[in-house]
Each structure stands twice: as C-alpha cells, then as structure tokens.
Amino acid sequence: MSIAENLSIVRSQIDRACINAGRDPGSVTLVAVSKTHTPSKVLEAVALGMQHFGENRVEEAQGKITAVRAQGSSSLVWHMIGHIQSRKVRDVAPLFDVVQSVDSVKLASKLAASAPKTRRLKVLVEVNVSGEESKQGFSCASWQEERAVFDEFAASIHEIAGFRAIELAGLMTMAPIVEDMEQARPVFARLRKLRDALQEKLGLPLPELSMGMTDDYPVAIEEGATIVRIGRAIFGERQVVQANNPAL
C-alpha cells in the first residue's frame, strides 16, 4: 500500500473515532513517526499534507531533518519521542519543535538551559501509567491508590512548568503491546485522569495528551488523545533493524 492510501485510511479512522467520542476531528494532531524511514518518504508525506513528524533518535533525526529542510520543507513541526541520553541533550532543542519524552526534572532543566533564546521549547512529560518495567517515563501506575506517588509527581510537574525557556503542554504515554486494543483503554483513561487531577491541584493548563500508536490509536482518541503518534500504519514496516534501540 502506498503512503497516500495508508494516510487516507488513518485519517478516516481518526475522524471516525472522533465522531464516536463526540469530538471535533480537528482536535487531534496526527504525528507521522518517520523513524528508520528516508527523507524522501517524509517528503512524500509532506506532499500529502502532513506537517508533524516524530523521531526517536537524535543522531538519525539530525541528518533527516537537515535533508528535509534542504528540500524547502522548513515549516514542519518535528517531535522528539524517544529517550534522550545526557550527552545528546544539547542537540535536541535546536533541532526539534516539541519534545514529548521528558522523563526527569533534570532533563527538563538541561533542555531549558539549551533552548533557543527566540522561542520557548514545547515539551510533554512522559509518564509510565501501565507499570511495565520496560517503559520510560515517570512511574505513576499507582497514582490513584498511593497519594504519595501523585504528590511527588505533581511536585515534579510544578518544577518543570517553572522553567522559563520551556512550555509544558501536557503528558505523553505508551500503552503496553496487547492483542486487542480495548485492553489498552484503561491505561489511556488513567493518563487522562492523572492530567485532570494535576490541572486541578496545580491550577495549570495541560491541554495535550499524546497517546495512541498504530495498534491502538482509535481507543486512545476515544479516551481523549489530542496527539497520536503513528508510524507503521503510514509508512509500513520499519526499514532498518537497530538492535541497540529498544523503542523499535
């Protein structure tokens, strides 16, 4: 299937999930996850109207974003969605428009210190609400049962929101891999409720919920996703196997 055919299916599924949930289809941003795919695939998606792209490795993104910009596509929005190693932090802010994978206060502080002076860097805080050990992010699976878990996370959110150079826009999560996407629904609902509880406690707007990938995005949208990150359903199976990268 071509990228054009894939995109038209994904877009109509997004519209359908929005209608099911009584939401405006314009309230969901589709991020095309282009990791392992070439700049020419990105440009193909751009020609089909795509504006938001996601990458999970700084090194790979550097070459790709530079190549795509050289083709004149400079108004795209690039999202960093993967774990950021300390030694790579300084390269992130100049390259990306949104960092979805902020998993510590220390990382937020380093990103703030390296953010361009001309614009605030938009960030989302990555949360592990499934309790799976393999997942990155703040561990918040038990926030509804354990008050201390919630309070500690709220304190971190408060601190991150305080960095001037970054704009904290919301939360991101990855659901576990499951056979039936319905099984992921409680994880998405838990992230939404956590966001609501934080907004209430801190009096802070956290409008964005980035959740939902190829295997589960319709359910994520029904549970309130404002950003979905979709790779395989748009570009097909990933091109390169990078053994050192668990996110692939």
Does 242 bind ligand PLP (CB under 6 A)? Our answer is no
Q: Are 212 and 221 in contact (CB under 8 A)?
A: yes
Identify the sign of the CA torsion 188, 200, 19, 98.
Answer: negative
Closest C-alpha to 95, from 75, 117, 80: 80
> How many H helices and E strands in the chain?
9, 9
CA distance 98 to 38: 21
For ligand PLP, which is the closer residue by CB, 107 or 165? 107
Q: Which of 90, 106, 147, 232 binds ligand PLP (CB under 6 A)?
A: 232
Does 61 bind ligand PLP (CB under 6 A)? Our answer is no
* 1-28 per-residue burial string, b: 16 or more CB within 10 A, e: under 16: eebeebbeebbebbeebbeebebeeeeb
**Of residues 197-226, those binding ligand PLP (CB under 6 A):** 213-215
Does 229 bind ligand PLP (CB under 6 A)? Our answer is yes
Give the nearest distance from C-beta 196 to ligand PLP in angstroms: 23
Give the nearest distance from C-beta 118 to ligand PLP in angstroms: 27
Give the nearest distance from C-beta 122 to ligand PLP in angstroms: 16
For ligand PLP, the binding residues (CB under 6 A) are 33, 35, 56, 81-82, 174, 213-215, 229-233, 247
